[in-house]
Amino acid sequence: MPLPAASAVIVETPRDAFQGLGKIIPTPEKVRYIKALLDAGLAHVDLGSFVSPKAVPQMADTREVIDALRAHKGFERIALVANEQGVERAIGCGGLDTLGYPFSFSDEFQKRNTRKTIAESWPLCERLAAQIQDADMGFLVYVSMAFGNPYKEAWDEARLLEFCGGLHRFGVRHIALSDTVAVANPAQVGRVFKAACAAYPDVEFSVHLHGRPQDWQGNIEAALDAGCRRFDAAAGGMGGCPFAQDKLVANIPSEGLAALLARRGLATGIDQGKLDACARLAQEFQARYS
């Protein structure tokens, strides 16, 4: 019998796609969109966040979105948290598999994103890890600005590996290396990913890359060549970082990523035609709710 095809995972991120849009998307529309993604075969979905609705109004209905999807089985349900209160709300909501925490390698970005310095965030991250593990849920840490930052703060590969080591000591076994403002280059992505996997072989490293339409493929190829098999993306490339100061810097488009992975002989379980339709729907959302 032929061997099964090698596989890769696409994590769809409507949370990241939606949160920067200026107009509030009605909850039924969010649910309709996510159901289309599930129908396309996406089995790992970042549904929303349990953060202050004043800080991120677009995510105020996260529990309602999760409630509306309870009947759908067989996919990993991910949500973002920023503090212990958010973890309590997420656990109380029920039905989630994995909680993610944004922990920036840039002190400036950590203060902007969570109102805490890196030094203040370490003890919080340790408490969150214990709290989430006690609830028998997966804990994912997004190391944002992992490849550089726009604040003229020094970036150093050795310090990044030490940073990952601090997470490892807390029992974190899934780290997403994130290129928040699309400053990474393929050589750097490949080198960093290989070094991180070698230093912490019991950690699953994935990538959350942003990019411009003409240049995102190179970083994905480099991550693939370094052994990465889990990638965050958003249909239509919807969303991006408000600090990028470049409207073309967006999430990696899921439909383009799925096609690239297929060319590399990696199975994803995704229906390309249905995902292309999701990308068109994403572009409609971008036009309607920006």
Fold of 9-289: TIM Barrel (3.20.20)
Q: Which pLDDT does position 213 carry in this prediction?
A: 84
Cα–Cα nearest to 152, from 114, 113, 193, 109: 109
First to last CA, the chain: 51
pLDDT of residue 243: 47
Distances (CA, A) of 235 to 27, 41, 53, 79, 167: 18, 13, 25, 18, 30
Position 240 scores a pLDDT of: 64
Position 215 scores a pLDDT of 86
Question: What string of DSSP letters covers the chain?
Answer: -PPPPPB-EEEE-HHHHHHT-SSPPPHHHHHHHHHHHHHTT--EEEEEEES-TTT-GGGTTHHHHHHHTTT--SSEEEEEE-SHHHHHHHHHH----EEEEEEESSHHHHHHHHSS-HHHHHHHHHHHHHHHHHTT-EEEEEEETTT--SS-----HHHHHHHHHHHHHTT--EEEEEETTS---HHHHHHHHHHHHHH-TTSEEEEEEEE-TTTHHHHHHHHHHTT--EEEEBGGG----TTS--TT-EEPBHHHHHHHHHHTT-B----HHHHHHHHHHHHHHHHHH-
Mention every residue, 6+ apart, whose C-beta is less than 8 A from residue 224.
8, 261, 264, 266
- The residue assigned the tokens 């769809």 is 12
What global pTM score does this model have?
0.95
pLDDT of residue 179: 96
Give CA separation, 128 vs 107, 141, 159, in Å.
19, 10, 23
The structural domains of the chain, with segments of one domain joined by +, span 9-289
Tens of pLDDT along the chain (290 residues) come to 344 569 999 999 999 999 989 999 999 999 999 999 999 999 999 999 999 999 999 999 999 999 999 999 999 999 999 999 999 999 999 999 999 999 999 999 999 989 999 999 999 999 999 999 999 999 999 999 999 999 999 999 999 999 999 999 999 999 999 999 999 999 999 999 999 999 999 999 999 999 988 889 999 999 999 999 999 999 999 986 554 445 557 899 999 999 999 999 999 999 999 999 999 999 999 999 99
pLDDT on residue 4: 52
